[in-house]
């Protein structure tokens, strides 16, 4: 899972890109990058780390221009070194930068075809670099000094025919503008915003509406599945639904965990969806334990607060904050490596004994993935004096890997895979465990005005909406996602310099042609 943003303005966009990335930081804490265009010079700064650490004043001053794109990365399978920070860049045709949120399920096939048929070399194992080179290859077919909207949409039409999986993308094309597009299933989110400046309209694309709010842009609408948006350097906005052949199935886990509660995705308020999750969970508790002895409902901060408050209200039980969170520790689920996740929990949360001592406590979390975090939090509650510790998950059991951009562990690492609710309760140390039902979750997220009737629920149901996920593919994903394999890759890359080079130059591209217009990329 990553966060992306692109802005076409009439004044410098560096500060707005930076601010937008800070508010999208929850979508990725592993790396960050910004690319801007000033005249025919691109400036690029990217590195591992949080937004506040990657960009210093000297970098911000050098990121000149009225057009730019940005990215925050959460490491997915095979993409966890500094060299794979985004945006990526290719110099032909025109000079193109790209930032991508999602995961291509046919990335290996694409990489092989790029080399065999188009002589494009990839420097990383990132599917985003493959996506960039496919887009560049398709634009190369129509490359001329004047790129029309029809040219752009034609290239994206051919792109859609080659890609499989989930993707929301922003690209910067030197001399022409910014292009954004969303996969035909709409699995990953992308919104369009507008701002009226004294010099004319300014446009913005971002993963979540909250990024628009922060920098003063008004939410116009979601980019619909299969749609491409082309915004020229002069601020003209063109749009076209290029591929409308598939069902709109956004990722339900966006609403459960990843998105900020103050965002609106596909015309669905994340905050209200989580409120309804709490109501549905309360109904289930009433059915299963009408004579429950719960004294207090305590959320596990932060994403479960909304659901927990509504659950407590529906059950008529006291709601209390029982954990103090250290806000300088990253999101545990996103942290690479099992040992790091385990160490981070106790440094991240501290219990308030007054709220636990001698009470039957219902802890509410947004979901349970590996179970290690849940087990340690339950242990903290018992150490604080809780008499009994019950546990409620606002999401159903996570039993299957996610292959659409969330680095959700292999099935072997998922605590609910192949286990009953009672077995999971014993493993995490809960006196009782209740999960949300999948249909209740879907009902909690959807509403009449959203025009969304189905969701990607693959990590709960094992049903992959793109229809191309085979057992063999899942096996390969598990191998790449194993913590041991990830640590080996990270160790191998440790100490290596961050090499950012012009990639994907097709054989025969000559300097001075439409395929090589940009003179240089200034690496900061």
**Where are the strands (E) in 75-216, listed by range?**
88-90, 96-104, 165-173, 177-182, 191-197, 200-206
Looking at 2, 79, 251, 459, which residue is catalytic? 2
Distance CA 446, CA 476 (A): 33
| Residue 443, both tokens | 């009902």
For residue 129, give the H/E element and its range: helix 127-140
Whose CA is closest to 274, among 284, 286, 259? Answer: 259
| Residue 139, both tokens | 């634009």
Distance CA 143, CA 510 (A): 13
Exposed, middle or buried, 464 (CB in 10 Å: 0-12/13-18/19+)? buried
For residue 483, give the H/E element and its range: helix 483-493
C-alpha distances out from residue 211 to 22, 24, 174, 303, 328, Å = 9, 7, 24, 18, 21
Beta carbons within 10 angstroms of residue 418's beta carbon: 10
Distance CA 518, CA 364 (A): 53
Q: Does residue 2 carry a catalytic annotation?
A: yes
Q: What residues contact residue 312 under an 8 Å CB cut-off, 6+ apart?
A: 278, 297, 318, 319
Q: What is the DSSP letter of 503?
A: B
Tell me the sheet residues that pair with 366: none
Alpha carbon 48 to chain centroid, angstroms: 16
For residue 161, give the H/E element and its range: helix 149-162
Q: Are 345 and 323 in contact (CB under 8 A)?
A: no
Q: What is the DSSP letter of 122?
A: -
Convert 6-42 to b/e letters by CB count within 10 Å (16 or more is b): bbbbeebbbebbbbbbbbbbbbbbbbbbbbbbbeebb
**DSSP of 420-445:** -HHHHHHHHT-SEEEE--HHHHHHHH
Active site residues: 2
């Amino acid at each position: 899972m990553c966060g992306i943003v692109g802005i076409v303005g009439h004044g410098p966009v560096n500060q707005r890109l930076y601010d937008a990335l800070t508010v999208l930081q929850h979508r990725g804490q592993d790396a960050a990058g910004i690319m801007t265009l000033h005249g025919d010079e691109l400036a690029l700064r990217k590195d591992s780390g949080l937004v506040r650490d990657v960009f210093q004043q000297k970098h911000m001053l050098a990121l000149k221009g009225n057009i730019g794109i940005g990215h925050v990365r959460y490491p997915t399978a095979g993409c966890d070194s500094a060299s794979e920070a985004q945006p990526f860049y290719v110099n032909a045709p025109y000079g193109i930068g790209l930032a991508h949120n999602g995961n291509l399920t046919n990335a290996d096939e694409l990489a092989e075809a790029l080399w065999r048929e188009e002589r494009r070399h990839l420097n990383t194992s990132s599917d985003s670099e493959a996506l960039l080179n496919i887009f560049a290859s398709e634009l190369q077919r129509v490359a001329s000094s004047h790129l029309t909207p029809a040219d752009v949409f034609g290239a994206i039409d051919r792109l859609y025919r080659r890609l499989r999986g989930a993707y929301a993308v922003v690209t910067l094309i030197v001399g022409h503008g910014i292009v954004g597009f969303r996969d035909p299933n709409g699995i990953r989110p992308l919104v369009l915003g507008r701002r009226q400046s004294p010099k004319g309209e300014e446009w913005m694309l971002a993963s979540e509406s909250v990024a628009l709010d922060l920098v003063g842009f008004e939410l116009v609408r979601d980019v619909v599945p299969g749609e491409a948006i082309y915004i020229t350097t002069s601020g003209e906005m063109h749009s076209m639904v290029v591929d409308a052949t598939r069902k709109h199935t956004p990722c339900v886990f966006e609403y459960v965990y990843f998105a900020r509660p103050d965002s609106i995705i596909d015309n669905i308020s994340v905050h209200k969806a989580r409120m309804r999750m709490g109501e549905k969970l309360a109904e289930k508790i009433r059915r299963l334990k009408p004579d429950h002895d719960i004294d207090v409902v305590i959320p596990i901060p932060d994403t479960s607060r909304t659901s927990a408050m509504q659950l407590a209200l529906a059950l008529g039980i006291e709601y209390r904050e029982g954990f103090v969170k250290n806000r300088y520790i990253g999101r545990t689920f996103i942290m690479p490596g099992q040992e790091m996740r385990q160490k981070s929990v106790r440094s991240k949360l501290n219990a308030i004994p007054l709220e636990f001592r001698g009470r039957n406590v219902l802890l509410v979390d947004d979901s349970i993935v590996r179970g290690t975090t849940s087990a340690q939090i339950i242990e903290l509650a018992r150490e604080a004096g809780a008499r009994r510790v019950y546990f409620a998950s606002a999401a159903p059991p996570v039993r299957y890997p996610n292959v659409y951009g969330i680095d959700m562990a292999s099935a072997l690492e998922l605590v609910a895979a192949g286990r009953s609710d009672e077995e999971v309760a014993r493993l995490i140390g809960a006196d009782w465990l209740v999960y949300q039902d999948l249909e209740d979750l879907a009902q909690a997220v959807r509403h009449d005005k959203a025009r969304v009737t189905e969701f990607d629920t693959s990590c709960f149901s094992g049903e992959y909406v793109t229809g191309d996920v085979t057992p063999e593919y899942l096996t390969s994903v598990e191998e790449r996602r194993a913590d041991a394999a990830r640590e080996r890759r990270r160790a191998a890359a440790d100490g290596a310099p961050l090499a950012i080079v012009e990639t994907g130059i097709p054989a025969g591209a000559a300097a001075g042609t439409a395929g090589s217009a940009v003179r240089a990329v200034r690496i900061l």
